[in-house]
Amino acid sequence: MTSRRVLPRPVAADWAWQLRAACRGGPEAVFFHPDLERGSARQDRDERAKAVCARCPVIVECRRHAIIAEEPYGVWGGQDEHERRLVIARRRRDNRRRGRARVRSEV
């Protein structure tokens, strides 16, 4: 008989936060830009999406997911693609620095 202690936890638990998201059931087009959308149209759409995020009870979980998964498109957790790319680049840079510091301390 298999011990329950060695079984992986249910994956559904990792995604349960999405059930409480303010965007759930809303129009996806608010969160993802159409091809070639630029300028004020894109800025206005992003602002509408971020307004939904601002009242969302799971904004932190959503943002964490988007950064860890490196979501390339859309507004997630109140951040657009550009804002996430900056955070992801900073995380990578910090991780490289920590790695170099760790190597130096091991030598």
Q: Is 34 annotated as a binding residue?
A: no
Residue 29, both tokens: 């087009």
22, 48, 81 from 41: Cα distances, Å: 22, 11, 16
CB 62 within 8 A of CB 77: yes
Q: Is 54 annotated as a binding residue?
A: no
Q: Is 69 annotated as a binding residue?
A: no
Q: Is 7 annotated as a binding residue?
A: no
Known binding-site residue numbers: 23, 53, 56, 62
Known binding-site residue numbers for [4Fe-4S] cluster: 23, 53, 56, 62
